[in-house]
Each structure stands twice: as C-alpha cells, then as structure tokens.
Amino acid sequence: MRSYPISRALSLPFQRPLLLLLSLFFVGILYAMDSQATLYEIENPKWVLSMGTFILLSPVFNGLFILLVHGEKIGEPLTLSQALTRLLPRYGHLVAGEIMVNLGVFIGFLLLFIPGAYLGLRWIFYKQAIVIDGASGTAGMRTSFAMTQDWHDLVFLLRFLAILYAPTFLVVGATVALPLGSIGNWIARGVSVLTFAWVNTLLTDLYIPHEKEAVMSGE
C-alpha cells in the first residue's frame, strides 16, 4: 500500500469521462441538499431530509463509481447499466454499512475528534469490500479494519487523503475569506467533483491488491 503512486488515482477519472459525470451528478445533488440544510445542521428540521437523501443516494453513486474503477483496473470495463445491475443486490448492505460507519464516526467525534477520525480511517474500505467482494455491512467493516491495522498504512492513508482533500479546503477557505460570489461556488463544486473522483479511485485501487490476495489464499 505504501508504495502506491498517487498519479494513478489522479489520472483515471480523466481517462474514463463517465467517472467524472457520475461525480458531477452526485456533487450537484449534495449541493442542492446543502442549500436546504447541511448534513451537520441538526437543529434545522430539514436536516432529516438532507441526511436521509445522503444515506440513500451515497451508496448508489459510490457503489457505481467503485464498480467502474474496479472494472477498468482488472481489464473488464463495465457500462453504467452493467454496473447498476451488479450494484442492486448489494445496495441494502451498503446502506446498512453507511448507517453503521457514520454513526460510529459521529459518536467518536462527539467523544473527542481523534476517535472519530481514527474509526473513519479504519473503516475506510468498507464500501469496496461490500461492492467488490459482496460482503455484508459488518463484514465489510471488519475487512477494512483488518486492512488498516498497520499504523504505517494509516499514516500513508492520512497523508494521501490530506493531499486529495487539500484543494477543496483551500477553495472553501478562499470563498469564505474573499468576495468570490457565485464564481467561488462553482469553483468549489468543480473541486468537489475531482475530490470525490480521486478519493474513490484511490481507495478502490488500493483495495484491488487485497482482493487478489484474498482470492489466492482461498478466502
């Protein structure tokens, strides 16, 4: 994991435009929800609608993206309809995993910031385990926990995720500090699209060697 060249994650979405289109559509939905109530605005009654939409739709877009990236990496490209057909039987497990992971991370953040961030890193591959290997929600969380038990791997993940999320934080900070108006909002959306694509590509690419090892060992 620690020898992974990040350029692979950065380049693939541009080589397969469908990945960027998926990211664009999902980010557009998130921004539309955010205009009503953010995912963290619990005191707003519309928060329930925003969170519910996120929990139900996030597994769809993440799952489709993961399947498309996986197909590209193993030399078996999928169409969007093929990916959707494979995703549907795993949708329930993805929703269950989404709820359990977000609840666990949320509780960790309530206690202290570090436990929440730690759990988020340890469970970061649960979607890949569910979508690629057909695991249940809890089994996907266990698989991710096993993959991230080496603290060197956690440092590697934290460093790469910081690199990929840095443009988003910089643009958001700039839109707050400077009077960029609607232009700033559109820039932020564009950067968010790239961040979603890059992070999902990175995690799926990192998961694929684990998948091959599991097959070879008969797991």
Tokens 């991370």 sit at which residue?
105
Mean pLDDT over each residue of the chain, to the nearest integer? 87
CA distances from 118 to 13, 60, 123, 207 (A): 28, 25, 9, 19
Task: Please give the structure tokens belonging to residue 75.
Answer: 């030399």
Interval 80-111: pLDDT, tens: 999 999 999 999 999 999 999 989 998 988 88
Q: What is the pLDDT of residue 213?
A: 46
Q: In this structure, are residues 211 and 140 in contact, taking their beta carbons and an 8 Å threshold?
A: no
* Per-residue pLDDT at 14 exceeds 70: yes
Interval 15-40: pLDDT, tens: 999 999 999 999 998 888 877 767 66
Task: Please give the structure tokens belonging to residue 48.
Answer: 């329930």
Interval 147-204: pLDDT, tens: 999 988 899 999 999 999 988 888 877 776 677 777 877 888 899 999 999 999 999 9
Q: What is the pLDDT of residue 215?
A: 38
